[in-house]
């Protein structure tokens, strides 16, 4: 004879009592006439409780029910959350109201029991041995809630926090209830390689516009930023790949050279006109340069910040627009509710509006040459069909953000050179040997790519200050059940993995004297672990614009170094620049006040 089956009770109160008993809740003592314990006796037991006691017990039980629903289904829609967090606790509150004269008191009491039960159940599970990440070390606040990491991110110092965590706990750290940070180069292929995982849920929280509807869904699934499915990403990547083929990048060289020459000319003009002893904010000029060059190759021109300044505060608004996504990426479900709060994220929405305006302008005016926008506008697999407009806008925003990547990298390179005059002199000597002063030869892309020390300077600045320092994230594909990392670390579905390049790049295990700026280390690559160097990410989802970024950095740095002597401005400490860096997905910089003097004066 098989085990006895308990007949289910279909009313809400008895079901809740069953949950309460199974969870360890101790009921008052009752006489049992049959002598045999039975769940069916809960009904008469319930009748002996007062309405006040039944209300408390029901609040506890509905809290447990909500916990099990959250654990299994992770509801994110506003309707589902409204039922779980609004309707369910309202039932015991109504029962409490019959025994408590004050409506407010019954609401406070019922809600307190409900949410205390829900939160305690969640916390106990996340800390218990039953959790699949229980064995992974990490700080207690991170294990309990992503709100802690969101708070750290709000300070802009997530890169330093991750570095401290790995220094304390080792190469694998639990940084969230269901998130790990892995700083082990040997594990990168199984995380980010061809057989690795697709993008993680972080990207769900980085929707710039926050708009809802069919257009937003289409852009989310078919934009390079929003595509989390590996096959979708590969298809979208084809569109971007055609914009960065060797032939396409070669077509951008004249614009990059022209803007690099303009950077030098505008700075010289400023030095000649202003009586401030050659003091300029080189970080701001780095942003002006990259805004102008991205305007040229993405939208057919139109910004002209180096010539006119920034009356529209584009640089400042871009930085502000990246703040809120830097927080919502930590708690992606929040992005579902942003459209219902129009007063939130105005700068973020302004960034989306800028992308919309530039896309509209570019579509209206056209262009006489094949720039990035031209390639992104035409899907190579759709027989010449034009890309849908929501995706065009998403790609436009991506282009603008990519410009901020280059601006950050260029500013960081200038900072490293300004604080290491020996490296500056050595780089200038290399450039002068390749392009002698007065010979009429100007730096060209092919020759610059072959200069070892120049590339060493760029690599070393990118190593110390990667433009995306912590937010490279991957997660197992939906429906896969999980993914094996290395030979003995299984990542269950629903778990995300960060790969913090800032931590990897500064690890002495991969780069001797890791905290030092040593461009010459790249002249002997056998002395370092190049596979731990991922400033442009790694694998199928790496930075598609890497060839153009290197072209812009090499050309701008070469023109600048041959034109100016540079030193930090008096009163500005070298440590201040690093202290002002903020990690909001992109490593945003502060100011870089320097004193410039045209070479030879």
- By C-alpha distance, which of 582, 492, 590, 499 is closest to 541? 499
List the 172-176 sheet strands across, edge first: 172-176, 179-182, 496-498, 473-474
- As a whole number of angstroms, the distance between CA 226 and CA 129 comes to 35
Distance CA(80)–CA(320), nearest Å, equals 32
List the binding residues.
543
Characterize the bridge pairing of strands 279-281 and 473-474: unpaired
Chain-centre distance for alpha carbon 367:
33
Burial of 598 (C-beta count, 10 Å sphere; 0-12/13-18/19+): middle
Tokens at residue 544, please? 């598609």
Residue 584: closest CA among 481, 445, 456, 469: 469
Query: What is the Cα–Cα distance from 460 to 160, expressed in whole angstroms?
Result: 18
**What gap in Å lies between CA 77 and CA 231, rounded to an integer?**
26
Return d(Cα 257, Cα 578) in angstroms, integer: 29
Query: CA-CA distance, 82 to 162, in Å (whole number)?
Result: 35
Per the DSSP assignment, residues forming a β-bridge with 180 are: 174, 497
3-state secondary structure 183-237: CCHHHHHHHHCCCCCCECHHHHHHCCCCCCCHHHHHHHHHCCCCCCCHHHHHHHH
Distance, C-alpha 33 to centroid of its chain: 63
Contacts of 61 (CB under 8 A, 6+ apart): 15, 16, 17, 19, 20
For 191, how many CA atoms within 13 A lie in the half-sphere containing its CB? Answer: 26
Tokens linked to 15: 């079901």
CA 286 from centroid of its chain's CA atoms? 22
For residue 199, what are the β-bridge partners? 474
For residue 17, what are the CA distances in angstroms to 21, 64, 84, 483? 6, 11, 18, 39
377, 388 contact by CB (below 8 A): no
Nearest to 599, CA basis, from 437, 486, 369, 459: 437
Q: Looking at beta carbons, which pairs linking 273-278 to residues 24 or more positions away fall under 8 Å?
A: 277/595, 278/595, 278/596, 278/597
How many whole angstroms separate alpha carbon 150 and alpha carbon 379? Answer: 37
Q: How far apart are CA 532 and CA 516, in angstroms?
A: 17
Comparing C-alpha atoms, which of 134, 116, 137 is closest to residue 125?
Answer: 134
Q: Which uninterrupted H or E stretch holds 502?
A: helix 501-505
Burial 255-271 (b: 16+ CB within 10 A, else e): bbbebbbbbbebbeebb
Question: Residues at the annotated binding site for heme?
Answer: 543
Burial of 395 (0-12, 13-18, 19+ CB in 10 A): buried
């Amino acid at each position: 004879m098989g085990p006895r089956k308990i007949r289910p009770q279909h009313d809400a109160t008895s079901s809740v009592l069953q949950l309460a008993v199974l969870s360890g809740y101790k009921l008052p003592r009752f006489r049992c006439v049959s002598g045999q314990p039975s769940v069916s006796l809960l009904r008469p037991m319930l009748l002996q409780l007062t309405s006040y006691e039944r209300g408390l017990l029901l609040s506890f039980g509905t809290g447990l029910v909500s916990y099990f629903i959250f654990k299994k289904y992770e509801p994110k829609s506003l309707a589902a959350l409204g039922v779980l967090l609004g309707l369910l606790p309202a039932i015991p509150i109504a029962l409490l109201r019959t025994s408590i004269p004050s409506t407010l008191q019954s609401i406070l009491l019922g809600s307190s029991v409900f949410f205390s039960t829900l939160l305690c159940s969640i916390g106990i599970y996340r800390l218990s041995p039953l959790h699949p990440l229980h064995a992974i070390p990490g700080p207690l606040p991170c294990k309990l809630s992503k709100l802690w990491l969101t708070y750290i991110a709000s300070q802009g110092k997530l890169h330093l926090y991750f570095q401290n965590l790995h220094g304390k706990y080792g190469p694998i750290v639990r940084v969230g209830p269901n998130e790990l940070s892995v700083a082990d180069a040997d594990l990168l292929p199984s995380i980010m390689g061809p057989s690795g995982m697709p993008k993680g849920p972080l990207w769900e929280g980085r929707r710039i516009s926050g708009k809802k509807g069919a257009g937003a869904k289409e852009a989310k699934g078919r934009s390079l930023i929003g595509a989390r499915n590996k096959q979708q990403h590969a298809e979208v990547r084809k569109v971007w790949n055609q914009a960065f083929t060797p032939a396409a990048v070669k077509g951008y060289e004249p614009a990059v050279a022209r803007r690099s020459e303009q950077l030098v000319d505008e700075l010289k003009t400023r030095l000649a006109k202003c009586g401030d002893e050659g003091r300029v904010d080189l970080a701001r000029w780095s942003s002006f340069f990259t805004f102008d060059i991205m305007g040229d190759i993405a939208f057919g021109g139109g910004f002209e910040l180096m010539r006119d300044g920034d009356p529209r505060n584009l640089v400042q608004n871009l930085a502000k627009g990246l703040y809120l996504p830097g927080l919502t990426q930590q708690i992606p479900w929040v992005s579902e509710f942003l459209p219902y709060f129009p007063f939130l994220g105005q700068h973020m929405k302004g960034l989306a509006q800028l992308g919309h305006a530039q896309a509209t302008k570019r579509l209206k005016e056209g262009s006489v040459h094949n720039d990035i926008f031209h390639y992104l506008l035409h899907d190579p697999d759709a027989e010449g069909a034009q890309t849908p407009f929501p995706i065009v806008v998403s790609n436009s925003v991506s282009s603008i953000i990519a410009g901020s990547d280059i601006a950050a990298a260029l500013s960081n390179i200038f900072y490293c050179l300004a604080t290491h005059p020996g490296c500056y002199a050595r780089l200038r000597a290399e450039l002068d040997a390749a392009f002698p002063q007065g010979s009429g030869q100007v730096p060209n892309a092919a020759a610059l790519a072959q200069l070892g020390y120049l590339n060493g300077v760029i690599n070393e600045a990118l190593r110390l200050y990667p433009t995306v320092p912590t937010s490279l994230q991957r997660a197992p594909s939906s429906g896969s059940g999980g993914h094996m990392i290395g030979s003995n670390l299984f990542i269950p579905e629903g778990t995300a993995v960060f790969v913090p390049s800032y931590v990897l790049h500064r690890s002495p295990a991969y780069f001797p004297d890791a905290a030092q700026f040593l461009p010459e280390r790249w002249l002997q690559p056998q002395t370092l672990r190049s596979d731990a160097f991922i400033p442009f990410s790694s694998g199928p989802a790496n930075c598609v614009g890497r060839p153009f970024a290197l072209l812009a950095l090499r050309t701008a740095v070469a023109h600048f170094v041959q034109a100016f002597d540079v030193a930090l401005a008096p009163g500005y400490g070298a440590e201040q620049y690093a202290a002002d860096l903020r990690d909001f997905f992109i490593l945003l910089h502060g100011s870089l006040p320097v004193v410039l003097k045209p070479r030879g004066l």
